[in-house]
Amino acid sequence: MKKMSLIIISLLVFVGGCNFFEKKEKKVEVNANSAQTATAKVIGKNNESYGNAYFQEEDNGVRVTLALSGLPSGTHGIHIHSVGKCEPPTFESAGPHFNPTHKEHGKDNPKGYHMGDLPNLEVGEDGSVDMNFLAEGLTLDKNAANSLLGGEGTSLVIHESEDDYKSDPAGNSGARIACGAIQ
């Protein structure tokens, strides 16, 4: 009787242990398929908050979603810059445009474009922006040369004027008026 009880208890422990490992494998599988994400808190030259930018890894690049308010209305150049630092009031700490492929600036430049180039930002009369777009060729994988999170990090910078999409190095988009370190 003792042997039979010992065998039954051993089988229960074995079967329970198998179920434990099976559940754990499923959990790991779900986590492995999760999309990588990052955010940037966008600030102005007086350290005022303009809202957030969200970044999510996709198959062909990084989806950028902007939820901003309080910006000057109109069309503004917006770029990824090569350093993840935003020191007001000039945001020169964000460095030059993110350009790991060493191209020139602008989608209309025959020698361009570089990976920091983004579509112009259209700010409504009320100062708000609700926009999303795919930044092709970028990644959030820290080990890749085209990563927004590698090295010194990167920043999202909004300029005072419209980007002309062709003038190197910054599309004649003027001074930097807002910045958010991508983390």
Joined together, the tokens standing for residue 131 give: 């926009």
Of 59, 102, 105, 141, which one is the catalytic site residue? 105
Could you tell me which residues come within 8 angstroms of residue 171 by beta carbon, excluding any fewer than 6 positions away?
A: 77, 105, 106, 117, 163, 164, 165
Of 108, 141, 163, 176, which one is the catalytic site residue? 176
| 117 part of the active site | yes
The Cα 18–Cα 52 span in angstroms is 45
Of 59, 159, 164, 168, which one is the catalytic site residue? 159
Of 97, 108, 163, 168, which one is the catalytic site residue? 97
Query: From the DSSP assignment, how many helices (H) and strands (E) are in the chain?
Result: 1, 9
Of 59, 63, 76, 117, which one is the catalytic site residue? 117
Residue 60 phi/psi, 5-degree rounding, is: -105, 10
| 97 part of the active site | yes
The Cα 105–Cα 171 span in angstroms is 7
| 168 part of the active site | no
| 79 part of the active site | yes
Of 63, 102, 114, 168, which one is the catalytic site residue? 114
| 76 part of the active site | no
Of 76, 81, 108, 126, which one is the catalytic site residue? 81
Residues recognised as catalytic: 79, 81, 97, 105, 114, 117, 159, 176
